[in-house]
Amino acid sequence: MDFELPKELVAYLAELDEFIDREIVPLEQAEDNIRFFDHRRENARTDWDRGGLPSRDWEALLAETRRRADAAGHYRYAFPAAHGGRDGTNLDMAVIREHLAHRGLGLHADLQNEHAVVANNVGLRLMLEYGSAEQKSAWVDGLASGTRFFAFGITEPEHGSDATHMETTAIRDGDDWVITGEKTWNSGIHSADADLIFARTSGEPGDAAGITAFLVPTDTPGFTIEEYLWTFNMPTDHGRVALRGARVPGAAMFGPEGRGLAVVQHFFNENRIRQAASSLGAAQYCIDQSVAYAKARTPFGRPLAENQAIQFPLVELHTQCAMLRALIRQTAWTMDRHGTFAASEQVSMCNYWANRLCCEAADRAMQVHGGLGYSRHKPFEHIYRHHRRYRVTEGAEEIQMRRVAGYLFGFMKGPAPKGV
């Protein structure tokens, strides 16, 4: 393995920074848009009169950012060239996602809602892999440009990590399917064009086979949004939906019948390694800000940075970032050369550790900055509240550790990583 980043990737990071400084930072500063990032951010982003949903002004600003990024040729970087992208690799995206998060809060990347000028569009990749010709015709252009998207209806109120025991069912009725059940934590459902609903069509509870995915338009009779669940980090777009005899045509089936779980599992590794890279970037940002503050702050007539009680915790976090960065890049490199599932164990290691590390780094940054760090006049509380989510939602860290243990103790089998 060559530990030097590809020259073209390094050049692209410079190109990306130039675009952000030229196009995105001025937009962020215009017309008091900075209210979405300074101490007013949570209030400015949240429409408290609409159940805590993202405010329309906030979402319009994100949409304009995506439009500019797409026009400049950045938004689709990871997509196939046939769809306007640059065939970005897993290593490319890991480095780019870390780089964007390391810049701190801003319109260039706000991970609270998975927004970034370089998209991590799982929906498009799923559509290209599993969509029918009719579905691709209807969806690909909108997904690629970020103007259309579908939510994911997997988790149920009584079934979280174990999707094999889901209670939502789909029963065939002639050429149609009738879906009944409930889903929760459907992020983005308030503005989604459809919800990708996973329902049991055959088999028994606990069977991985027999679950089928359906693209259900959100205006389908019998499909209702029951509530939006308020969270640690507001605004919220996490809906609980009910399907009461929602009827969809056979053409709504997404991927093979009975193989729905394979649809969502297909890109778990790609999504998780990129998310781990984002957490790493945010962690390094917290550390770097803390070091700068400790060097400038002079209580009792001497810089905070002279105190080992300040130095040592940051040294430990900085060291963990360096080790994690090496593992993330090695893992992404392995995936590029030997396939998405060639490093499943390492992906889980990266993911759960990066999420935990980010929370620890944000917490330490608050401590170093004292009362100011605890306030909303610094970004650390926002970073902590957002990334704390990933220790639950991106495959809970216990699930990731269980996965690693499965390989470590021989309970799981899989392709051994090569060349590492």
Q: Which residues are catalytic?
A: 394
3-state secondary structure of 89: coil
- The tokens describing 305, both together, are 């940075």
The structure tokens listed for 135 are: 């579905």
Residue bearing tokens 């338009």: 217
Q: How far apart are the first and last CA of the chain?
A: 8
Q: Which amino acid, residue 78?
A: A
Cis peptide before 415 (omega within 30 of 0): no
Distance CA 207, CA 200 (A): 9
Residue pair 365/289 in contact by the 8 Å Cβ criterion = yes
Measure the CA–CA gap between 114 and 112, rounded to whole angstroms: 6
SS3 of 298, please? Answer: coil
DSSP state of 26: H
CA distances from 416 to 248, 343, 407 (A): 42, 7, 10
Distance (Å, whole) CA 231 – CA 138: 33
Distance of alpha carbon 414 from alpha carbon 408, whole angstroms: 11
Radius of gyration of the chain (CA): 22
Rounded CA separation 375/297 (Å): 17
Q: Do residues 218 and 192 touch, judged by C-beta distance below 8 A?
A: yes
350, 273 Cβ separation under 8 angstroms: yes
Residue 41's closest CA among 128, 110, 103?
Answer: 110
C-alpha pair distances (Å), 385 with each of 92, 124, 231: 27, 28, 9
Give CA separation, 390 vs 181, 255, 394, in Å: 26, 27, 5
